[in-house]
Amino acid sequence: MRAVVINGSGHVRVDTRPDPTLPGPDGVIVAVQAAGICGSDLHFYDGDYPLADPVALGHEAVGTVVEAGPVVRTVKVGDRVMVSSVAGCGACPGCATRDPVQCFSGLRIFGSGALGGAQADLLAVPTADFQVLKIPDGITTEQALLLTDNLATGWAAAQRADIPFGGSVAVIGLGAVGLCALRSAFMHGAATVFAVDRVEGRLQRAAAWGGTPIRCPAAEAILGATGGRGTDAVIDAVATDASLTDALNSVRPGGTVSVVGVHDLQPFPLPALSCLIRSITLRMTTAPVQRTWPELIPLLRAGRLNVDGIFTTTLPLDQAANGYATAASRSGDDVKILLTP
């Protein structure tokens, strides 16, 4: 099979690798029909994480089950499915909460070395009854692909931001997760969402979806717009030192900063005294993907939550290197890349 592989900063290629085998009697093999390039994949591409060996990339996959283990109950060969980007054992008390992050054995993420990469012709998925969901009627391929990670992450970011009804939120970073968080913040009762980025095209896109665009760094502008108080909540979908500092400086006393961006491996100099004195709540979240599905799927099917326009570019798998270069440009025209094996 073909698989997208990275072996160093900026070095993406499509390799031929052996077809995967069933990862146990509870696993499935999925023929991937659509895979997303995620902002967190770019940490490998940008060289933020060291690579001892080439890594098969990708953790967002939609496809068809082509082989299923004998004890798999919820899906069968021929079903179109989406695969949670975050995997757990599916059997422990932590996984019983439907949050793989709480797995007693520790979470695993596709496309990070622990499991195979989703940007491939085939993907082996362990514990399929926990990791995989048959795509419901009325859910498009793009919606399903967002449900595997980006929408679940943006939704969890808004949930954990303690947004009061009628309150104000700042969303820092208007990539796919940030745009999902923007729309989720409105769903959670925000009256005003400040949309923060440095790229004009992304600011314009957020404005078209109801956000109030502000160029970063945004703290001064946000304080000015809120009478010096700050927003009730901040969602940081970037998690650089600069964005985290901007978030902490933009939130009001007693407010919440909800971080879903992926930081690099360097320590962040947290202004702990200021956070203490101002009673700031800081939450950092890897999305409980499976737990969000019962909430998000009905909203998408009913048309109450709109995620159209987040995928901006579709490329065949063989052009993955071009897709990564496009995503790494972080332009206003290209928000999220979809690869089609």
Token pair of 36, please?
Answer: 């997303």
Phi, psi at 162, each rounded to 5°: 55, 50
Residue 316: CB atoms within 10 A of its CB come to 12
Same domain, 101 and 213: no
Say whether both 196 and 120 belong to one domain. Answer: no
Residue 154's identity, in one-letter code, is: G
Q: Are 42 and 130 part of one and the same domain?
A: yes
Give the β-pairing of 122-125 and 28-37. antiparallel
293 in the same domain as 266 = no
Of 313, 334, 307, 312, the closest CA to residue 179 belongs to 307
Residue 132 token pair: 């995989």
Looking at 258, 284, 310, which one is the last position of a domain? 284
Q: So what's the pLDDT on residue 48?
A: 87
Q: Evaluate whether 118 touches 35 at the Cβ level (below 8 Å).
A: yes
Vertex 155 angle, CA 261 and 211, to 5°? 80
* Domain range for 163: 153-284
Round to whole Å and give the CA distance between 247 and 264.
Answer: 17
Same domain, 137 and 196: no
For the chain, the helix, strand and coil percentages under 3-state DSSP, each to the nearest 5: 30, 25, 45
Query: CA 102, CA 139: separation in Å to the nearest integer?
Result: 28
Same domain, 145 and 7: yes
Last residue of a domain, one of 284, 301, 331: 284
Q: CB-based contacts of 135: which residues, under 8 Å, 6+ apart?
A: 62, 80, 81, 82, 141, 144
- In 55-74, which positions are buried (b, 16+ CB within 10 angstroms) versus exposed (e)? bbbbbbbbbbbebbbeebee
Which CATH number characterizes residue 23's domain? 3.90.180.10
Residues 60 and 98 grouped into a single domain: yes
The pLDDT value given to residue 3: 97
CA atoms within 13 A on the CB side of 201: 11
- pTM of the complete model: 0.95
217 cis-preceded (ω within 30 degrees of 0): yes
In this structure, what CATH number is given to the domain that contains residue 256?
A: 3.40.50.720
State what percent of residues in the chain have pLDDT above 90: 92
Indicate whether 263 and 241 sit together in one domain: yes
Per-residue pLDDT at 123? 98
Can you give 169-199 as a three-state secondary structure string? EEEECCCHHHHHHHHHHHHCCCCEEEEEECC
Same domain? 279 vs 309: no
DSSP helix/strand/coil, 337? strand
Measured CA to CA, the distance from residue 31 to residue 316 in angstroms comes to 15
Task: Examine the domain organization and report whether 82 and 197 are in the same domain.
Answer: no
Ranges under pLDDT 70 in the chain: none
List pLDDT tens digits, range 189-236. Answer: 999 999 999 999 999 999 999 999 999 999 999 999 999 999 999 999
DSSP E strand boundaries for the chain: 2-6, 12-16, 28-37, 55-56, 61-68, 80-83, 86-87, 108-109, 122-125, 132-134, 168-172, 192-197, 212-215, 231-236, 251-259, 281-284, 311-316, 336-340
Residues 6 and 139 in one domain: yes
Amino acid at the residue 94: G
Q: How many domains does the chain have?
A: 2
Q: Strand, coil or helix: what is 142?
A: helix
Assess whether 255 and 324 both reside in one domain: no
